Chain A
């Protein structure tokens, strides 16, 4: 006879369960969830990513539509605000909330693509530098030292000035500026791993150079690189905003957080929200990503746990 209510499935025997190892993802999530700030950062970033992905449906208005009757309307909680424009409008009567949501798209795109564009060459150069310490390594590292010696924003401005302003050139400029940190980080990690016995064992087992580089050593160097990638994601957003503010980044009327700041700075005394809200958005996103990066670092590298 079968009982009508199915019993909750219990593990066959407790001994079997204790012998199973937790999957690395579960272990990672457990360590990550310990850090409350990181979880909050993750939650905020999820919200931003959601807004960016579904911007046309989330945003209440078309970000480029100019409501000529509602120039510089204050946010809804201030006197004179209306529910039609929750965060108010800018100097041309465009809805700020919609522009911020649309801007998230661009900022995330810039962050992501510039990280990818500097991460991949950075890892390649770093691996080369670590594996060939005689000639190639020092040449690469000296080049990176030269790039680090220039102030990063100045370098980015110079690159954009050469290539011309625009979205793609902004991304390229930011990618070039953040390249040296990836190269140095990869090289340091590679050099640490190369002295380990498992690398000798892999050579012994017949691994060739490409296999040693990408299959044996690289996965063990990923922890600091993932952390650096998150942190430079935030600095890419900042740099893009700075370039936009200087008029060298994304060109109007495309809504981008830095460009929005720049075009609104004349109204800072009359309508503070036009400047403050994009600034606040940048601040919160960068803060969230940095908190997330800290959490990642703690979870991926137990040696650094609770370090300052």
Chain B
């Protein structure tokens, strides 16, 4: 039994006929696993996580055949019950550390607040634990930082504090939504290392949302490639990078600048993600796909197991390798 099981998740904004932002997504995460979700902007990565945590407000609508976390059906929970699970067992690290901390309170207060709420720690015990957490995320001079306000910290430092807050409730699942996008390169590596170390140490599951494929290659065990709200390929890490089966995965990998060294222009996939009014009838990638065939434009392919991975394509690539 997986820690997190998502079957046929749909998220729409508007009525039942609105174009889905997340379209029939299936996802399973085991305890202690690192799953990466990659895809370009607007492919539904973040919305999926918001839906999981029940943070989609009206007019957003969530439907799913199953959305279970640790044996609990997240769709059936009342607001109060959900608040007990989310935040303690599921925690999240956000993209921009500068807005992820409340500017009005000190770092220590914000961490202690989580401890008070979810672990019932108070006073000295909470402060002691907050200090331990700050040391855990490798913040130098942790004692003095407890009384610092967020604006007195650098971006990397703030992100460490945000991670400390996220792991304060000892979560079973940590969702990191582009945790390194807003940081500079040297800090990115440190933060990723920290996240992976914490994940190993606590054996928590980690969902890593990113567009940085290099990060994925180094850290994740499985990858889910999303395009326009659908999972187009789900596979193990080295295989998906070595022999991508979906044309979109291939294009994503080709778009890494290092692959275009010596070329005049960077490799790109022409066009943009289909929006609300230009959603094709057939495969969602068909207007942009270099391998498009006639039936691609008429029918939507299902997500089927192929040689190395689950692929949503009629003509998967790289199938000849045994």
Contacts and interface: CB of A to CB of B under 8 A. Distances in A.
How big is the B interface, by class? 35 or more
Interface in B146-166: 147-149, 152, 162, 165
A39 B50 CA distance: 48
B102 interface: yes
Contacts, number: 63
Interface stretch (A138-146, A193-201, A261-269, A274-282): A193-201
Contacts of B102: 198, 202, 216, 219-220
Given A20-B144, A21-B152, A220-B104, A205 B99 contact: no
A220 B149 CA distance: 13
Contact of B92 (A19, A21, A204): A204
B101 interface: yes
Contacts of B92: 200-201, 204
B187 interface: no
Contact of B87 (A21, A196, A205): A205
B94 A19 contact: no
A19 B143 CA distance: 10
- Residue in B88, B96, B104, B118 whose Cβ sees the most chain A Cβ within 10 Å: B104
A11 interface: no
Interface in B92-141: 92, 94-96, 99-105, 113-114, 117-118, 141
B131 to A, nearest CB: 15
A202 B103 CA distance: 13
A28 B100 CA distance: 23
Contact of B86 (A21, A197, A206): A206
A208 interface: yes
Given A205-B117, A206-B86, A198 B100 contact: yes
A305 interface: no
A24 B88 CA distance: 31
B185 interface: no
29 contacts: A21-B149, A21-B152, A24-B149, A134-B58, A196-B99, A197-B94, A197-B96, A198-B100, A198-B103, A200-B55, A200-B94, A201-B92, A201-B94, A201-B100, A201-B162, A204-B55, A204-B87, A204-B91, A205-B87, A205-B169, A206-B84, A206-B86, A206-B88, A206-B117, A207-B83, A219-B104, A219-B105, A220-B103, A220-B104
